[in-house]
Structure 1
Amino acid sequence: MPTLTEGGNAPLTSSSVRVSVAGPVDVTALVLNADGKVAGDDDMVFFNQPSAPGVRLDGTALAIELTGLRPGADKVVVVASPEAQGATFAGTAVRLRVEAGGDPVEFSPSRLGSETVVVLAELYRRGGDWKVRAVGQGYADGLAGLATDFGVDVDEPAAAPAAPAPAPTAPGVSFTKGEEKLPAEMREKLNLRKQQVAVVLTKHRMTGLRCRVVVVLDVSGSTSGLYRRGVFSRAVERVAPVAAQVDDGAEMQAWAMGGQAEQLEDITIGTLPQWIERYTAKRYTGAGGWNNEKAAIEDVAGYVARNPLDIPTLVLFFHDGGVTDNGGTERALRAVEGEPVFWQFIGIGRSDYGVLEKLDTLRGRTHDNTGFFALDDLDRVSDAELYDRILQEFPSWVRSYYPPGAPALQGLS
């Protein structure tokens, strides 16, 4: 298999190109004009915007149809950044593979260290033909350096005078991918709230915690007023910083719980305003109008089983009360006791929470995989108190569930 070195090139013998990247990275593609600049925001393909004309991102692989690129496109640049927030490429091996009809070619950049973004390769037009060139150019100043070279309109926290990121008051607070797309006020709140989450994690000796975060929203008929008053919108905005702090992708999977369980689009920081507007501006009716906690528990647990990680999953289950099937809910939670999932139920409806109020006293379990607290008025609870209550029982469960030396415990004291 041909292997390229920095500066080396090879012809592309097909207009259909697949570019895959192996390594713990996020992948971005930039579609450029002949002057080497993007034409606008739509020319950047990444996890928050996974497609553009002729380019589609799937995980760490790009499907590129050269004949389908927008008019004026002359080059496609493939960029990688470390998956972990704040990390560099020091000690990280990355390998690029390009397939376009003939023999695939590969490239591994050398001499990477303090860089936080690297241009791996470029697909470029030469006359009437297309070629791929291995690049391997890194940027120690991350997105800012990338923006300077390619005209990408991306603001680093220090370059946003309208909404400067506050100085961290707790360890482990860093720039979150996608936050540059938020309105100024929402971005400022995000950074303040990330600090509060970091303080709580420090308190529980969990500063290195990594986990997947899932949000389940009650959409039964009785929640209509809560949605109309914006309670669920504010709830989602306030828990997003938890994912921004503990999830490497700064995202949350989301479910609606009504008469059935329905998985919604993932929540990412960059698309948070649009997600809130689509799913919480009013009650989502696609899942039916009554409560089926058992279905939601089983559906989320099934997703976790199909998508295993070596880190835990924290489920934040917002419920307005009126549990329909106490026995079925309890049995469903007992059935998933052995799974790497902690279920934190949050009451926001001033109603009868049934079995949820007894979760801390359920007997006969090896692991206490559940927690519950009720908020009579979400808006009267400070961020510090909210995050303290969300993370009150989860750390103890993590330490009791995982054996010593497990990857999930790395970085925890």
Structure 2
Amino acid sequence: MLDFLRGQKESVRRLCSGLELDLELYHKAPLEIDIGCFGLDAAGRLSDERYFVFYNQKNSPKNEIVLRDGVASGAVRFHLCLDQLPSHIAKLSFTAAIDGTRTMQELEKGHVCLFRGQEEVGRYSYTGGQFSAERAIVICKLYRRGDDWRFNAVGRGFNGGLKALVEHFGGTVAGSVPSTPPMINRPSSPSPPQQPNPSPRNPAGPSLVQNIVASLPNHVCSRMDNLARQCRGDTEYLTSLYKNMFASFARHPDVADLPVQVVTCMDASGSMFDLYRNGRMQRVIDKFFAFATTLSDIASMDLWAFGAKSRQFGAVTMDNVRDYTFAEAGGFERWMSMLNYQYNNEPEAMRDIMMIYGALRKPVMVLFITDGRLSSDWEIEEILIKTSRFPIYWQFVGLHGEEYGVLERLQEIDGRRSENAAFLKLDDIDDLSDSALYESLLSNLEGWLKEIQYKHILE
């Protein structure tokens, strides 16, 4: 049996010898916990309520997902036939939520188990000590990968309970969330495909826009409006990224108190060649650019790349973002040649960034991409300890790699004045929906901003 760590991913077909399996979720707590399964589309949204399976709707339309009582007392079990799900269901997200004012911190223990027939083949365990004020958590998810599905242990919380979960996955809840299931605004029954509507449509909905405006300072809303207006022609594709970023930003209004400069630093060693060539690193640029320009009035994002050497390239702007990795300074192949692509030297890039941004005395968030096999754990630790005195936050993103060393043990680094680093491990940048990615980045940033203000690191 495989014991999963938070963030770990594995092939369902390999674990379960196929795509039919059971998922059993168990919680021990002095409170009532509601379990649900959200069937999501490729954008991570609840576009078809029939695939929201919970205690008041225990079957999907063709029993591809069936909710039953679990074997253990207090457990529930989902029987899944993943190969029978329609193509528009790309992800299944399994959640736990509580009503009222109590929190997941009261959870004594919980786990999700994968079963191949009667045999338990995998387990992800967690406790209330991993949470604080959260009233809902995403426990795990399953998502398509070619002709396979992958299991991902998530373990991430939301402060708003079931309502926050529904809204996070693109549903809207009518009124406050009662003890009975929410009514998600949608047609009362499935309708045939609609003809294209020539008039503009706002997927976020007016209530979401109103919530954003009410949550954030006027100057931040003006900044957002200006960015949205620039998404025309070649940059129109950024519109959906900004909509997701704006919605996530509204859930973290404290981040808006201080402008944050975002710097992206990208691994350009030879092992990353295919990710650049197939456009996946350009996709990273697109997502991070929307994130960066929302957090500051600077409508650009500084970008560094590294192999054995490190170098700053031209800033990413609305004028060059669309094909940045293919055109800037001759494109990524030229970058790799200039930087000596034979190995990745993370400390070299970190030291350069520290020298440039450490003296600014304003919050800087570094989105640092690497595919692992780090050149020196101890040098990275040393730099993190040194920069913990500066307002620099290191958000490491492991992409399509392995052997991340110290990045998976950041909490064990002693001697830091602030908790100035976090690690997010992904196989692909689209493993998380845009809204989930931004939610994760903003949650980490928000906690750090509060810490450095409390500890007067900005002064």
Pairing 1:138-287 to 2, within 5 Å after superposition: 168=209, 170-171=212-213, 172=221, 173-176=224-227, 179-180=230-231, 182-183=233-234, 185-202=236-253, 205-279=254-328, 282-283=332-333, 284-285=335-336, 286-287=338-339
How far off its partner does 1:269 sit? Answer: 2.6
Distance 1:372 1:331, change over 3 A: same
Amino acid corresponding to residue 346 of structure 1 in structure 2: V
Give distance in 2, aligned partners of 1:182 and 1:314: 29
Distance 1:360 1:179, change over 3 A: farther
1:292 to 2:345 alignment: yes
How far off its partner does 1:265 sit? Answer: 0.5
Superposed CA offset, 1:140-171 (max 9, x none): xxxxxxxxxxxxxxxxxxxxx88989763523
Count how many residue pairs are aligned between Structure 1 and Structure 2: 245
In structure 1, the residue matched to 2:395 is 344
Retained in 2: the 8 A contact 1:210–1:246? yes
Match of 1:327 among 372, 378, 395: 378
Superposed CA offset, 1:5-49 (max 9, x none): xxxxxxxxxxxxxxxxxxxxxxxxxxxxxxxxxxxxxxxxxxxxx
Give distance in 1, aligned partners of 2:313 and 2:409: 29
In structure 2, the residue matched to 1:317 is 368
Superposed CA offset, 1:57-86 (max 9, x none): xxxxxxxxxxxxxxxxxxxxxxxxxxxxxx
Give distance in 2, aligned partners of 1:223 and 1:401: 34
Amino acid corresponding to residue 398 of structure 1 in structure 2: L
Retained in 2: the 8 A contact 1:197–1:387? yes
Distance 1:396 1:191, change over 3 A: closer
Retained in 2: the 8 A contact 1:260–1:292? yes
Normalised to the residue count of structure 1, the TM-score between the two structures is 0.54
Distance 1:393 1:180, change over 3 A: closer
1:301 to 2:301 alignment: no
1:401 to 2:449 alignment: no
Pairing 1:323-402 to 2, within 5 Å after superposition: 323-402=374-453
Distance 1:225 1:336, change over 3 A: same
**Structure 1 regions of 5+ residues with no counterpart?**
1-160, 409-413
Give distance in 2, aligned partners of 1:293 and 1:405: 28
CA RMSD of aligned residues (A): 2.9
Give distance in 1, aligned partners of 2:432 and 2:408: 19
Amino acid corresponding to residue 259 of structure 2 in structure 1: R
% same residue: 25
Give distance in 2, aligned partners of 1:293 and 1:164: 42
Amino acid corresponding to residue 382 of structure 1 in structure 2: S
Amino acid corresponding to residue 446 of structure 2 in structure 1: P
Retained in 2: the 8 A contact 1:259–1:292? yes
Amino acid corresponding to residue 238 of structure 1 in structure 2: K
Normalised to the residue count of structure 2, the TM-score between the two structures is 0.49
Which structure shows the bigger proportion of residues in helix conformation? 2
Retained in 2: the 8 A contact 1:226–1:232? yes
How far off its partner does 1:179 sit? Answer: 2.1
Superposed CA offset, 1:149-196 (max 9, x none): xxxxxxxxxxxx889897635233322288255526414224323323
Amino acid corresponding to residue 304 of structure 1 in structure 2: Y
Give distance in 2, aligned partners of 1:220 and 1:340: 28
Give distance in 2, aligned partners of 1:236 and 1:272: 7
Retained in 2: the 8 A contact 1:254–1:263? yes
Distance 1:331 1:182, change over 3 A: farther
